[in-house]
Amino acid sequence: MITLVEALLALAEHETMSKAALRLRVTQSAVSKRIAALERELGQKLVEPDGRRVRLTPFAVRLLARVRPLVGDLRDALYGESAAIQGELVVAVSESILASWGPSLFVACLARLPEVRLSLNAHSGPMAVERVRAGEAMLALVAGLDRDALTTRHVLEEPMVVIPSGLQPLTLANRLAVRTIESHSETWRCLSLRLPRLYKDHDFTLEVNATLQTFTGIAQMAVAGLGHGLVPLGVARLLGVPDEQLVRLPGPTLTRPVSWVMRANTAARPLVKRFLEVFAEEAEPIKESFEQAE
């Protein structure tokens, strides 16, 4: 039964049979057969065509609202405990973290914890959190703090900086147009809550005139001269942009919080607790580096 429900979950997420099949690593025919089998089992229509896509019926929407948390719990119970006992931690990481300061910390942790095996996967922030919620990842390292029904552990505050277009000198006026990350990202969700205070206290407005899916792309475009880019400091440093050429916004440094996200029972596992302790210790130099840059 769980494989049938997983097919419906994948279809709800991706909206096409082909993408759902890729997500589940099966054929499109297998996805169709699983959906049909679940419809027969429940005696209800679950999906209907919507152009080239499919959409869930109202019954299917209500069904997934009830079973999604249960499926996550079941996956965690079946696979999470076993993996932790064997020393494996499945970790979903925000792409911008994995592309900048994250890997060095993971290497340092593994050097101190030889009994741990990490399975690292890069995702957008929202997708990384969903992997934890669905029981497909044990931990997620992402921007943001509050997560309904999930446990968080704050790691650090990463400064947000502006890479001036073409690395040319930039003098701030009371308005600055930038390219930054998409509005549905975890980072932008945090920034949108913090920017109004900056606008109010410093008579300054940040105007987002374009967005992109990745911070590395935004940074590369800014360095090339295709407009100013608002990015995390770690991404700017990844490209070798000297700190003195970066532009800080007025007032207290605008930062994005970075946190671990996990299920409560995952947080209680001894291996996970030890890993998070070591990670926090190894992150101290990064935190100090960010604080000095503020």
CA distance 160 to 255: 5
Give pTM, 2 decimals: 0.78
Model pLDDT, residue 198: 81
Q: Tens of pLDDT along 4-32?
A: 887 878 878 778 888 888 777 788 888 88
Q: Which CATH class is domain 2-67?
A: mainly alpha
Q: Domain ranges in the chain?
A: 2-67, 78-155+257-284, 158-256
**Cβ pair 286, 101 in contact under 8 A:** yes
Model pLDDT, residue 153: 93
Q: Which CATH superfamily is domain 78-155+257-284 in?
A: Periplasmic binding protein-like II (3.40.190.10)
CA distance 28 to 192: 39
Q: Which residues of the chain have pLDDT under 70?
A: 76-86, 146-147, 294
Can you read off the two tokens belonging to residue 179? 């390219």
Of the candidates 250, 206, 213, the residue with the CA atom closest to the CA atom of residue 230: 206
Intrachain domains 2-67 and 158-256 with the same fold? no
Q: What percent of the chain is helix, strand and coil (3-state, nearest 5)?
A: 50, 25, 25
Q: Tens of pLDDT along 194-233?
A: 888 888 888 888 899 999 999 999 999 999 999 999 999 9
**Cβ pair 272, 90 in contact under 8 A:** no
Model pLDDT, residue 82: 61
CA distance 87 to 149: 25
Instruction: Report the CATH fold assignment for 158-256.
Output: D-Maltodextrin-Binding Protein; domain 2 (3.40.190)
Q: List helix spans (H) across the chain.
A: 2-14, 17-24, 28-42, 58-75, 81-85, 95-98, 102-112, 125-133, 186-202, 215-224, 233-238, 264-267, 270-282, 284-293
Strand locations in the chain, DSSP E?
A: 47-50, 53-56, 88-94, 117-123, 139-143, 151-163, 175-181, 205-212, 229-232, 255-262
User: For residue 167, what is the DSSP state?
Assistant: G
